[in-house]
Amino acid sequence: MMALEIKGQAIPNIPWQDRPQGCDHVMWRYSANPVIPRDLLPTSNSIFNSAVVPYGRDGWEFAGVFRVDDTNRRMRIHPGFSHDGINWHIDESDVVLTGADPEIAAWEYGYDPRVAHIDDRYWVTWCNGYHGPTIGVAWTEDFRTFHQLENAFLPYNRNGVLFPRKINGRYAMLSRPSDTGHTAFGDIFYSESPDMEFWGHHRHVMAPARFEESAWQCMKIGAGPVPIETSEGWLLLYHGVLRSCNGYVYAFGSALLDLDRPWEVIARSAPYLISPREIYELTGDVPNVTFPCAALVDAPTGRMAVYYGCADTVTGMAFAKVDELVDWIRRNSIV
Ligand code: BMA
């Protein structure tokens, strides 16, 4: 095994479960999945594609923003807090956004949030309704008040994911241009910004894979959790979609991106890490969906805990060791 350095903080209390006996997969599911049930709130229809970070404040150890679809089937984002990263206290009301131009602030819908801790702020990006889906941006220090900026891109765009630090002096974001519907295409692009408002320097990162090579990611792909910085490159988890005779199937895999030029792909896994298999991934409001939006990493041990939406209904967790994962990507790369 290579000596891999992980740039990030220690999370000694990271949620964790050892790889089960007899399992030889590089990533394994939490045995008590799902960790967040659909009806945790009195008015929730489903709680899934959600993002968490370490947060040692107000007596909590972790905080996050959660995709909560309510019983009107409106898509909303709610703050949540946890002592152990597994049992969550999610606010009944959705996030309070302040400071935006009223034109932008008019709330249509918000879903699939990600959170990046950059310097002393937690930056939230999400799929924000503004004449179609685009990328909303806000920052918070306390997960109570969220300061909203301009939308990052023109519609239509989804899966906006910030890097956890500036790259070459600018904020950096991955995103996936799309359409107004259930987009049947999609590549991952990279963009830079000096101020989190104006985005440019757009670069192509990855297209869907060739069907013959890696079918689970042959229709569209989109960035998942905030990338993890390692000495081998940025470790990216991303979802990929296959169109079966029964509809879309959402699995996820991973790639390594160049540290200084993250639009250059060093390696990319041909096999998936997780694909719908368990009953809570196979059945729900949208069957056959595993959709990662966050990963915690304890830098000293390389333990990684991934949060992923299951069948657009509940939230599950999976685990891996970062050094084993990087090694696995390199050994199974289609690049
Ligand atoms: C995508 C997004 C995700 C969802 C997925 C599967 O377009 O809406 O939130 O998990 O479809 O329905």
Beta bridge pairs of residue 170: 167
Span from the CA of 57 to the centroid of ligand 1 (angstroms) = 32
152-171: per-residue pLDDT in tens? 999 999 999 999 999 999 99
Percent of the chain exceeding pLDDT 70 equals: 99
User: Quick one: tokens of 5?
Assistant: 């350095």
Cα angle, residue 226 at apex, residues 324 and 100 outer, rounded to 5°? 175
Query: For the chain, how many helices (H) and strands (E)?
Result: 3, 23
Average pLDDT of span 325-334: 98
pTM for the model stands at 0.98
Distance 86 CA to ligand 1 centre (A): 23
pLDDT-above-90 percentage for the chain = 98
Q: Tokens 């009806």 — which residue?
A: 39
CA of 183 to the centre of ligand 1 (A): 10
- Which atom from ligand 1 is nearest to the alpha carbon of 183? 7
Per-residue pLDDT, averaged over 208-219, amounts to 98
* Structural domains of the chain, with CATH: 43-331 (2.115.10.20)
Evaluate if residue 62 carries a pLDDT over 90. yes
DSSP letter for 36, please.
Answer: B
Residue with tokens 């995103």: 175
Name the residue with the closest Cα to ligand 1, atom 10.
Answer: 312
Q: What pLDDT, on the 0 to 100 scale, is given for residue 2?
A: 53
Contacts by residues 183-189 (CB-CB < 8 Å, ≥ 24 positions apart)? 183/156, 183/158, 183/220, 184/219, 184/220, 184/243, 185/219, 185/220, 186/219, 186/220, 186/221, 186/222, 186/241, 187/220, 187/221, 188/159, 188/221, 188/222, 188/223, 188/238, 189/263
- pLDDT over threshold 60, residue 1: no
Task: Give 218-263 pLDDT, tens digit per residue.
Answer: 999 999 999 999 999 999 999 999 999 999 999 999 999 999 999 9
pLDDT at 309: 98
Ligand 1 lining (C-beta closer than 6 Å): 49, 111-112, 182, 250, 286, 289, 291, 309, 312
